[in-house]
Structure 1
């Protein structure tokens, strides 16, 4: 196929030899299957901020800092230069998270390089060598749903042990290869120690998993793995092999109404993004 304009610089630099086909187009990027020498990889081309349906909400930007004070001031003022810096921070967040999580043993695509707003990384494949399907396109039995749910909970725990929360985890950004689930799409990754909404985001990610797998294994509906995992993390007791029950003791402290309202707003935005993503995949 014709080389997309955004990928052309990587071809000129010798990083990509051929663009084979478009793999998918989502709310934040378009992904292409590319050939790099004898290897088949994928190139994720990030969309411009004005074209993304997933906006850089304050909740996701919190905790992301740049060392250069001039860049930080420009980002705060929203100047042209500042917007460019914000885009680089947004894109680099996924690259940094992928390297960080891969080193921690999390099942994510192997990143190779990010150049001119294009992330070159491993193409996740199924047992036949074809592009791996999304989790929402996989037929699941009751037993397989429980197995995949347990595997993904461990991945969430591994991520949190590495200080990272996905922030937008659902059946639409999980692939399934020959060995099980692989987590993708991390530009909105959250630093667990640097965000005031880290607990909310973690619980939402885990609840998304319970709701999806609950359609095949109803006993997962209403489980409290997110709260349990966060409680262990806060107590300094979270390890990759920490036993989980999905139950936590009921709180006795007064309810924080403001936090509840904030969580409802986040959930509403998540549902709107989910519906939008479904519509985009149907186009």
Structure 2
């Protein structure tokens, strides 16, 4: 239903703001039917947008329009607009890849200019909490940890790393862990720092679980991820 030509969208308000994008709640409906809630992530293209870490993530990617490449490098108004659109397209492509690879991500609906429309993860109009907000400790987190390792493994098998994985971009929805914020997804083979990004993802989540009292072995997990790629 969410992709039907006769559907129309109603904006219900903002869910959260971020450094580079804001997330809005959208209801999409066909006249005479119950609507479906979607999340619209809108990248900013104005002067306050901050794509400060994009360089290392972008290694191994190609932007074909040389004028756009120069504009992004100069950080002109046009360049920032191009960057916003580029990151929106990158996130939609990453969501699509992750979905096809069996990674639990919001279903990607469509991309338009600087906006990515995707499945809304939550109950009613309330977004699912981030894993970082969980009050669980020790063994109570064992299942969440297992799911996170499965997520890392699914990325590795597809030849990619999330690139910025942490408890702040993992949602917990009725016991299911869902990954969000994927524009910086890294092709491990094409990016010279690919393995470093993968290792950092492991360390980030491992450290959080350890602080919450769940013992784990990040070096063993990383070794398994490397093995899963071949």
TM bucket normalised to smaller: 0.7 to 0.9
Does 1:101 find its partner at 2:117? no
- What corresponds to 2:108 in structure 1? 111
TM-score normalised to structure 1 length: 0.69
Residues 46, 81 of structure 2: 8 Å contact kept: no
Task: Give the secondary-structure state (helix, strand or coil) at the position aligned to 1:193.
Answer: coil
Q: More strand per residue: 1 or 2?
A: 2
Q: Distance in 2 between matches of 1:181 and 1:60?
A: 24
Task: Give the secondary-structure state (helix, strand or coil) at the position aligned to 1:144.
Answer: helix
Q: Distance in 2 between matches of 1:28 and 1:71?
A: 19
Q: Distance in 2 between matches of 1:80 and 1:141?
A: 46
- What corresponds to 1:32 in structure 2? 24
Which of 15, 20, 28 aligns to 2:12? It is 20
The 5 A counterparts of 1:134-173 are 134-173=130-169
> Structure 2 vs 1, CA of residues 82 and 28 (structure 1 numbering), >3 Å: closer, same or farther?
closer
- What corresponds to 1:279 in structure 2? none
Equivalent residues, number: 221
> Structure 2 vs 1, CA of residues 170 and 52 (structure 1 numbering), >3 Å: closer, same or farther?
farther
Q: Distance in 1 between matches of 2:125 and 2:74?
A: 47
- What corresponds to 2:170 in structure 1? 174
> Structure 2 vs 1, CA of residues 14 and 86 (structure 1 numbering), >3 Å: closer, same or farther?
farther
> Structure 2 vs 1, CA of residues 57 and 217 (structure 1 numbering), >3 Å: closer, same or farther?
same
TM-score normalised to structure 2 length: 0.84
- What corresponds to 1:192 in structure 2? 188
> Structure 2 vs 1, CA of residues 164 and 49 (structure 1 numbering), >3 Å: closer, same or farther?
farther
Q: Distance in 1 between matches of 2:9 and 2:60?
A: 37
- Measured against aligned partners, the alpha-carbon deviations of 1:119-168 in whole angstroms (never above 9, x if no partner) come to 11100025x77421111112213223222111111111101211221111
- What corresponds to 2:204 in structure 1? 208
- What corresponds to 1:227 in structure 2? 222
Q: Distance in 1 between matches of 2:13 and 2:80?
A: 30
> Structure 2 vs 1, CA of residues 78 and 142 (structure 1 numbering), >3 Å: closer, same or farther?
closer
> Structure 2 vs 1, CA of residues 49 and 63 (structure 1 numbering), >3 Å: closer, same or farther?
farther
Which of 30, 38, 41 aligns to 1:41? It is 38
- Measured against aligned partners, the alpha-carbon deviations of 1:79-133 in whole angstroms (never above 9, x if no partner) come to 665554443322211100000110111000011111131111100025x774211
> Structure 2 vs 1, CA of residues 52 and 171 (structure 1 numbering), >3 Å: closer, same or farther?
farther
Task: Give the secondary-structure state (helix, strand or coil) at the position aligned to 2:19.
Answer: coil
Residues 19, 49 of structure 2: 8 Å contact kept: yes
Residues 166, 186 of structure 1: 8 Å contact kept: yes
Larger Rg: 1
- Measured against aligned partners, the alpha-carbon deviations of 1:51-85 in whole angstroms (never above 9, x if no partner) come to 23451432111111134566556656766655544
Q: More helix per residue: 1 or 2?
A: 1
Bigger mean CA offset, 32-41 vs 53-62: 53-62
